[in-house]
Structure 1
Amino acid sequence: MPTPHANPDSGSELRITTTASAVSKGTESLVHTGRIPARVEDLMRAPHQLGDFPFPVSYGYLGVGVVDEGPREWIGARVFGLLPHHSHHIVTTEDVHLIPDDIDDHRALLAGAVETGLNILWQQPPRFADRVAVIGAGMIGTSTALLASRMPLDRLEIVETDPDRRTLLTDLGLTAVAPDDASSDCDLVIHTSGNQAGLARGLEITGDDGTVIEASWYGSDSPSVPLGADFHARRLSIIASQVGEVAAGHRARRTRAQRMRAALTALNDDRFDALITGVSDWTELPTIIDELSGGSDGDGSGLARTALCHVIDFTGAHTR
């Protein structure tokens, strides 16, 4: 079996039997509700997407499974890939990444979120003793905060409106505050809430000459950004971060595969298990995505509010 830092038979074809996938709530809700702008349809295609936006389309990019056909040294290997919610996949060795032995399948599903968080931190790297805020404690925000908590910062706050989510963050050893209680004069603010109010609050708590990294994606929505008030007077900056490309500061020296290996290694942290907030059988996937998109909750008070990483279990799909 190959080691995590080897890629024998590069380009060889593999068959993957899926053990689990996860729903990336933010982006997949936009796909599910048909809110992918036509002008970026090509940019927002998932690597192994079937069909075209808006519909019909088979989407998803958080999948783990076991290799059951392919080169001998790959048989039995557990792998993560940017794969849709299918029971099986035919891919090449370059499309998947070996999961370290100390990471179980469900935690490995967070590799996509951790890769995004890593890219955010590469986009505008915090410096020693910086004051940093992360706004929005969804799957991306919490993953980014867990990575940032390992850095020698003077202050790290996660700004979150949901009191239950703040309790979870506190249990993970993080400092969680309501928006009105967020500290000001931040060197760096990372916005991941997907809500224009979060971005507005981020600009308010950013210190003079400071930077906001905008990691939220709004699909076809057009958020109102308060660029009046003190935005120009205090010389603030807003930088976009998107995981489709390695962050500019590292692009010449890191490949996407190297970035993913770093993300999988970073998952060797038991705190990430708290981000797995639910598991459902693969037969429930249509209902789960509808609920995560707010379709069955009306006001979004149920699963759409509480879920971080919701796992779809495919083990039963292979016994029928």
Structure 2
Amino acid sequence: MAVTGNTTQGPAEVHHEIPDAATAWWSIAPGQGEFRSEPVPDVSDGEASVRTLYTGVSRGTESLVARGEVPESEHERMRAPFQAGEFPFPVKYGYLSVGTVEHGPAWLRGRTVFALFPHQSRFVVPADALHPLPDGVPPRRAVLAGAVETAVNVLWDAAPLVGDRVVVVGAGMIGCAIARVARGIPGSDVTLVDVDPARAITAEALDVGFALASDDVPQADVVIEASGAGAGLNLALAIAPTDGEVVVASWYGNRPVWLELGADFHSRRIALRPSQVGAVAARRRGSRTTRNRLALALRLLEDPAYDALLSGTSSWRQLSEVTAALADGTADELCHTIDWTAE
């Protein structure tokens, strides 16, 4: 049952939850969505119920979802773990949720947990789908777990060594997370590259270098592209070392990307390699699981420097405005959080 509708008319009017019901956000058309009241099932053995504190907006992927630009060939592969509906619309999508366990196994009750769940006020999932936060990770910062998990996977793919010069093209949420994780490698020299000079402030907070895409970019041993823009991918190719590679963390949905594969591309023997968080990187697939990869990401989030990525927050009642901004390209926050504790 829809609680209210159109996102283009300003904040949607939402009624209070009825007992045993949750409020969920569904995308229903490009830039539009609605709140739906959904039943919350009873908790069975092996399950837990969670009351949401915060959800996070993964701007790159959720912009594609908000515009209906998930390619048909990827409709199944791109499903979030607890997604409802189908691409392109209507779909309940999202995977950065932090909340408090209300009912479930004794070891979880009262704990603050991370879950790969969409934007919804309450939910019931299998207990093993919940990840308790380390004591040093506050709930709002924990929505970055998905970004840091992606960063871990990208760096497993890129495999930088001690003392390497790492250049990350694109200072969005994922690029910044990659840079901060890479900074922890002894002797590493990490530089973020972006077209926005304001990202220099974020780079300083993350204690990494910064360069404008229009300037001379430092030499690199490892190049990672996370810009989401064809120009960024071409820049990454241009600065890659001879016999090196560019690890591509961006996902472009159904948008074509033009690449400059002439000039010295062949003579320098540059390789392009994709990295995608849906599977553990091949170098670690035999020894790590997605669950312990996420546990590692949560431990890394004990580092308060990641608070620099939390650049905006809205009440859940403003999800209509957030979705419209995602679709029209005006959303520019690194990680926008949705506060579900607000009345």
TM-score where L is the length of structure 1: 0.91
**What are the superposed Cα offsets for residues 20-59 of structure 1, whole Å, 9 maximum, x if unpaired?**
1010000001001000000110000010001000000000
Structure 1 position 281 matched with structure 2 position 281: no
**1:227 shift after superposition:** 1.5
Structure 1 position 308 matched with structure 2 position 337: no
**1:316 shift after superposition:** 2.8
Conservation of the 8 A alpha-carbon contact between 1:13 and 1:70: yes
Structure 1 position 148 matched with structure 2 position 182: yes
Summarize the alignment of residues 141-290 of structure 1 with structure 2, pairs less than 5 Å apart: 141-290=175-324
**What are the superposed Cα offsets for residues 2-26 of structure 1, whole Å, 9 maximum, x if unpaired?**
xxxxxxxxx8111111011010000
CA RMSD of aligned residues (A): 1.3
Conservation of the 8 A alpha-carbon contact between 1:49 and 1:60: yes
Bigger helix fraction? 1
In 1: Cα distance, 2:170 partner to 2:78 partner? 22
Structure 1 position 136 matched with structure 2 position 170: yes
Runs of at least 4 residues off by over 6 Å: none
In 2: Cα distance, 1:130 partner to 1:73 partner? 42
Q: Structure 2: give runs of 5+ residues left out of the alignment.
A: 1-44
- In structure 2, the CA distance between the partners of 1:182 and 1:250, relative to structure 1 (3 Å rule), is farther
**1:226 shift after superposition:** 1.4
In 2: Cα distance, 1:185 partner to 1:211 partner? 13
**1:155 shift after superposition:** 2.6
**1:154 shift after superposition:** 4.7
Conservation of the 8 A alpha-carbon contact between 1:184 and 1:206: no
Conservation of the 8 A alpha-carbon contact between 2:183 and 2:189: no
- What percent of counterpart residues are identical? 44
- In structure 2, the CA distance between the partners of 1:69 and 1:182, relative to structure 1 (3 Å rule), is farther
**1:91 shift after superposition:** 0.2
What is the aligned counterpart of 2:103 among 38, 45, 69?
Answer: 69
Conservation of the 8 A alpha-carbon contact between 1:127 and 1:153: no
Partner SS for 1:277? strand
**What are the superposed Cα offsets for residues 266-314 of structure 1, whole Å, 9 maximum, x if unpaired?**
011111011111111001012112113336xxxx3xxx23x01101000
Summarize the alignment of residues 10-49 of structure 1 with structure 2, pairs less than 5 Å apart: 12-49=46-83
The code of the aligned residue for 1:314 comes to W
In 2: Cα distance, 1:271 partner to 1:289 partner? 27
In 1: Cα distance, 2:188 partner to 2:93 partner? 40
In 2: Cα distance, 1:185 partner to 1:270 partner? 29
What is the aligned counterpart of 1:107 among 141, 149, 165?
Answer: 141
**1:96 shift after superposition:** 1.3
Partner SS for 2:94? coil
**1:145 shift after superposition:** 0.3
Tell me the equivalent position of 1:127.
161
